[in-house]
Amino acid sequence: MNLRLIGIGAGVLLILSLPLAGAIAGPDFAGQGDGKAGGLLSSLGLSDPSRTSDTARGVARHAQPGPPEQPRTDSRCGPELTSPQGLEAQTCVLVSEGSTWGRSYYRNTSGRPLDAVLTVMGPAGRTVQIRCAVGAGDEPGLCETPREASAGAVSGYSAVAEFAVPDDEGALLLRSGSNAPAPKGG
């Protein structure tokens, strides 16, 4: 084995361990308890609580590890569809925190800009519709309706996105729905 490589590795290990050793030891500030507060062990709650100045003074620390919890979003999506003209799309109904909305993911490689109309239909004849401009290019995009207060389960909603050429004729290139394909029985 190459001794020079082992020596360099040991030096790097020593350099990397110095900040950790300093963090474990903690700062020694005058006037803050017994001088042993702070450091990695106390910040992780692993030090002796009787020797931690905040704990000794009765100050509560409430730390929640990790990122804040995000609200759950349920979705019901139809199949991913592709048109012969180079358009791909998938449409979904989403539900979160008492709101329901529609979203259509797309990729337009047709070489020309298109129009999309996304419609969400809900219980009791409730309908929300939005028009989206779909630029030409290979980048994925999305069209999304505003969120509305839910009026029932996600199964009571459906969404349909229609992609068309933006001219007088408005040739329909693709219709994508949130309905999942029926399971094939056998």
3 state DSSP class of 19:
helix
- The Cα–Cα gap between 122 and 125 comes to 6
Burial 129-155 (b: 16+ CB within 10 A, else e): ebebebeeeeeebbbbbebbebeeebe
**Which pLDDT tens digit goes with each residue over 103-145?**
999 999 988 899 999 999 998 888 999 999 999 888 999 999 9
CB-CB contact of 114 with 170 (8 Å): no
Nearest to 94 by CA among 143, 164, 163, 162: 143
Residue 41 vs residue 89, higher pLDDT? 89
